[in-house]
Each structure stands twice: as structure tokens, then as C-alpha cells.
Chain A
Amino acid sequence: MRRRRERLSRAISGVGVLIVLVLLWELLSRLVTATGSYHEPLVPSWEYLWSNSLLRMADYWDGSFGIPSTVEGAAPSYAAALLALTKASLVTFERVLAGVACGLVAGIGLGILVSTSRLARRLVAPTVHILRMTPFLAMIPLFNLWFGAATFGIILFVAYGVAVIMFIGAINAVGNIPKVYFDRAATAGAGVITKYQLILLPAIVPELRSSLLLSFGLAWSLVVAGELLGAQEGLGVIVTYALQFAYTGRVMIVAFLFILYSGISFVIVEALSRRLIAWHHQGTQ
């Protein structure tokens, strides 16, 4: 009962803050009337965002499914705008999910390997530690040059960022497993595979959870960064075009979408991972 009341109170205050922010933005849009090079307001009002910026997303629709594009001379429509955003979102989703999946496997795998093998520690650890100290964004040009600016290169870039985060998380998580668990497994006759399967992997999940949530958040940033440079499709590409004409409203709409998607992915990953660690103390909080 008390928990439910707390949750309700948190939800009410969250909605309250949101309403205040919306109102403040509206106020700001009326106070700041400056416009960009194509007469686009630098701080667009909500009404402008809805009736102009969102509608003009139709400019990025290619005309399939029988909904004509503005390039073909059709008037912009909300249907074309929503289809354009949906298509770009799906492309970006694919890159995020594939990048996160590859990054998780690579990062956790390497982290465990380095934690459990002296040879791997000597061979792999210095390279990965240098990579983790390199700013992610500084690596974009290299990824573009090596793997191209299309989907493959962007997926690899996201995977790289996620892998670095998960690598560090996995090393810490493995290092914090009490030795007594392995001793107990050894005295019960457990072999190497059993120790990995029944001890190491379940034991690292709670600590990896925060890295997982962090890496999902990072993945959305990395995918935008990757798409800003030379990609042909995706939400980041819309932002690139919009920036060229100082279309603040369109940039904002894509930014809202990213906030929404990263929020939804956070909630999903949080809920799924919480189920995985029902045995852990935090699982009941």
C-alpha cells in the first residue's frame, strides 16, 4: 500500500515537472522570437512544432506505399511525415539493436576472458584499456574510413562503444565474485564449463546490469553520432538535413523521438534485467 502510494506520488510529481517544462518552453518561444536563415524560429512554439515541423517531416518520405512524396510535388501530409519518421526510426533501431547485441557479446566475452586467463590479460587487456580511454566520438572518422558510413560501419561503431562499457563492467563483476563460490563448486566436482555456467555467469548479472543500462543509453548517442556523418538513412540523417537549413523544429522532433526511444528501451531493459536478478537484494526494491 505504502509502496503503491509512493509510486503514485512519484508519477504525479513526474507529470507535474513535465507540464512545467512544457509551459516554460512555450513561454520561452514567445519571448525569443529570433529566426534562423530560412525564417525558422530558433525556439519554436508547440503549435509550430505540430503544424509545421512535424508536417514537414513529409519532406523525408520517399513516396512508397502509395503515399506521394513532396519531391513528386505532393503537398506534405501527416501520413507521409509519420511514415518518414517510422522508416528512419526502424533503420536506427536496427543499428542500435545489432550494435548492442554485438557489443554485449564482445564486451562481456572479452571481459570474462581477461578476468579468467592470464594469457588473455597480457595479450588483450592493454589494447582494450587504450581503446576505452579514447573518446568515442574521436573514433567516428576512423570507423567511417575503415567500415564505411552505411549501416555496417554504424553498427560496428555502436558495438565498439557498448563493448568498451561492458568490458569494464564484466572485469569488475568477475573480480567481485567471492572466491568461496568457486571453492564450493570445485569441492562439488564442478569442471570449467560448469563453473562458468552455474557460478560465474549468474554471479556477474547484478553488477553487469548497471553497465547494460548505461550501454543502452550510450548506444542511442553513438548511433546518432554515427548517422550524422555520411549515412543515407536513419533519424540522424534527418537531423543532418535539418541542421543544414537551421530547421530547429525538425531537430527537436527527432530529439524528442530519441528521448522517447531511449526512455522506452531503458524501461524494457530495466524490467527484463530485474526479472533476471530476482534472487538479488535489489530485485525486491
Chain B
Amino acid sequence: MDARPNAMTKAIVVRNLCVDFTRDDGGRVRALNNVSVAIAQGEFICVVGRSGHGKTTLLNVIGGLLGRYEGEVYALGKKVTGPGIDRGVIFQRDAVFPWMRVEDNVAFGLRVAGIPKSERARIAREHLDMVGLGDVKRAWPRELSGGMRARVAVAGVFASDPPILLADEPFGALDYVTRRQLQEVLFQLWQRTQKTVLFVTHDVDEALRLGSRVIVISNGAIVEDQHVDLPPPRTDDDLATPRSLELKHLLLRHIGLE
């Protein structure tokens, strides 16, 4: 693991990160313990691990959503002190605003950035077409399925065009087929835009299908950091090769399943 990266050339640099939470009874829980990781620009890194072991905490710190931490965290060379438009987030919970029509949801970041209405409508339409939702741009989110709302979230974050994308188990609540479709959508968008992606998931297969690199977090520490040397895009057959299975077993062992 490269613990001394140059913060200016990497998209994300985390050094000696420690995060503690206070329980209701006043006790302290260490969620992340001395985590260091550097993520190159354009890299698609997947973070796997069991629930409650620190994956989302790491993402929240990088996203600027968790203010109190020890250590150093940099995004594009700047110290992370709060959320910023350089780091788009796809949340685990449904964060599509129910009071905005689909296209307004997608254009939200552009509206905040002060992009003129006609321009943001064009960009929103373009991105809705990319995720296959061009026909429902005037619909209310309540009229969409969970999978469609996940597509809206993906389109929205790509429309804002942040150089870094943080995804927190965005497809975890979806059925298998929809999840596979959305993985493909996300992967294609990543290939087209070459953004830096940090993708949190508990699904090792999903990590191996998408990631150019996979790290495993266990008990708040990075216990494995693997480059995935399988050529993308990865089909089901690619994930059944001896090398792929070897990687999968390695990751599962570190997660604590084997």
C-alpha cells in the first residue's frame, strides 16, 4: 500500500485516518483506525467489507460529510474540510428529491452552480438519455421504480460533472437484474468520462466486475489492496476464470468469510 503518496498528483489521498464515534452510553467506538490509501485519477476503486466495518465512514470523510476526523484527507490536492462540487456522491439511501421532476433532479447540481435554465435542461436531457430515462423526464420520482430512481441519481451526479465520484452501495437495495443493468450503465459512463470513482459495496462480485482496484476494510482498517488485472468490461465468463476466482477467494478470506 502506498502510504506516502503525493497529494498533488493523486485524486484522493488519505493518510493515517482515524475516526471515532460516541455511542449513546458515552462510550467511544473507533470506526476507522489509521487508514491510508491513495487513489489515482481515473481509477475505479471498490471498497468491500462487512456492514459496520467502516466503508461508509471512509466515503463520508472523503465526501466531507463527516467533519471530525484525525489524519489527513486530500481531494485533488486540497484538504477535505467539507462537501464540495469536486466530489459527487451517489447515496445509499434514496436521495432523489421527491418534489422535483426527474429532469429537475438531474439538473439540481447545475442549478446550484448557476448554469442557465436552457443549458441545464439540455445537459439533463442528455444524461437522462444516457441512463435510458429520456421518456420520463417530466415524471415525479414517486412515479418511478427504485431502479429508475437509482438511474436518476446516477444521471444527476454525472450531469454535474465532478472529477471524483463517491458511490455508497448505490445499488444495494435493488433486485439482481436491475443491479446488473445499473452496473453496466455506471461502468459505461465511467469509461466515457474517466472520472475517479470510489465505489463502496458489500458484494465482492460487484467489486470484481467494476473495479480496477479493490480494497477490503475490516474492523476499521484496510486489510487488502488488490489491483484487478482482468480486462474490462468483465462478463460473467470473465468472472469465472481461475484468476478471477483466485481474486474472489482472496477478498472473501480478508472479509472473513473463508
> Which residues of B have CB within 8 Å of A277?
99
Least CB separation from A183: chain B residue: B65
Check: B163 CB closer than 8 A to any chain A CB.
Answer: no
A197 to B64, CA, bound (A): 22
The answer, yes or no, to whether A189 is at the interface (CB within 8 Å) is yes
- Pair A188/B91 contact, Cβ less than 8 Å: no
- As a 0/1 sequence over residues 172 to 200 of chain A, the CB contacts with chain B under 8 angstroms (1 = contact) are 00000010110111111110001000110
Is B109 on the interface with A (CB-CB < 8 A)? yes
**Cβ-defined contact, A189 with B113, below 8 A:** yes
Residues of chain A lying within 8 A (CB to CB) of residue B89? 183-184, 187
Contact partner, A188, options B98, B100, B112, B141, Cβ 8 Å: B112
Q: A202 within 8 Å of B by Cβ?
A: yes
- Distance in angstroms between the alpha carbons of A187 and B99 in the assembled complex: 19
A180 contact set on B, CB distance < 8 A:
91, 93-95
State which of B63, B87, B142, B160 has its C-beta within 8 Å of the C-beta of A279.
Answer: B142
Interface footprint category on B? 20 to 34
In the complex the two chains form, what is the Cα distance from A194 to B88 in whole Å?
A: 17
Which residue from A185, A189, A194, A203 sits with its C-beta under 8 Å from B99? Answer: A203
Q: Is the CB of A183 within 8 A of B95?
A: yes
CB-defined contacts of A178 to chain B, threshold 8 Å = 93, 95
CA distance A74 to B154 in the complex (A): 78
Q: Once the chains are docked, how many angstroms separate the CA of A280 from the CA of B82?
A: 31
Set of chain A residues within 8 Å of B101, measured between Cβ atoms? 279
Interface bits B84-118 vs A (CB < 8 Å: 1, else 0) = 11011101011101111100000011011100000
The reply to whether A202 and B99 form a contact with Cβ atoms under 8 Å apart is: yes
For the complex formed, measure the closest distance between the CB of A71 and the CB atoms of chain B, giving whole angstroms. 56
Which residues from 209 to 262 on chain A have a C-beta closer than 8 Å to any C-beta of chain B? none
CA distance A35 to B87 in the complex (A): 80
Decide if the interface of chain A is mainly helix, strand, loop or mixed: helix
Q: Would you call A278 an interface residue if the criterion is a C-beta within 8 Å of the partner chain's C-beta atoms? A: yes
Within 8 Å CB of A185, what residues of B?
108, 112
**A281 at the A/B interface (Cβ < 8 Å)?**
yes
Is residue B140 within 8 Å, beta carbon to beta carbon, of the partner chain?
A: yes
Check A279–B109 contact: CB distance below 8 A: no
Given the interface pairs A279-B140, A280-B142, the reply to whether A190 lies near B112 with Cβ below 8 Å is yes
Min CB distance B57 to A, Å, is 14
Residue in B83, B85, B89, B100 with the greatest tally of chain A CB atoms within 10 Å: B83
User: Which residues on A sit within 8 Å (CB–CB) of B82?
Assistant: 186
> B65 to A186, Cβ gap below 8 A?
yes
Closest Cβ neighbor of A201 among chain B residues: B99
List B contacts of A187 (CB < 8 A).
Answer: 63-65, 83-85, 87-89
0/1 interface trace, chain A 265-281, chain B, CB 8 Å (1 if under): 00000000000011111
- Rank and list the top 9 A-B pairs by shortest CB-CB distance, nearest first: A188-B109, A189-B85, A186-B83, A202-B99, A184-B95, A187-B83, A187-B89, A180-B95, A180-B93
Q: Which residues of A contact B (CB under 8 A)?
A: 178, 180-181, 183-190, 194, 198-199, 202-203, 205, 277-281
Further 8 A-B residue pairs, CB within 8 A, beyond A187-B64, A279-B98: A181-B95, A186-B82, A187-B63, A187-B65, A187-B88, A188-B109, A199-B97, A277-B99
Can you list 19 A-B pairs, Cβ within 8 angstroms, ordered by A? A183-B83, A183-B95, A184-B89, A184-B97, A185-B112, A186-B64, A186-B82, A187-B84, A188-B85, A188-B160, A189-B85, A189-B113, A198-B108, A199-B97, A202-B97, A202-B99, A278-B140, A279-B100, A279-B142
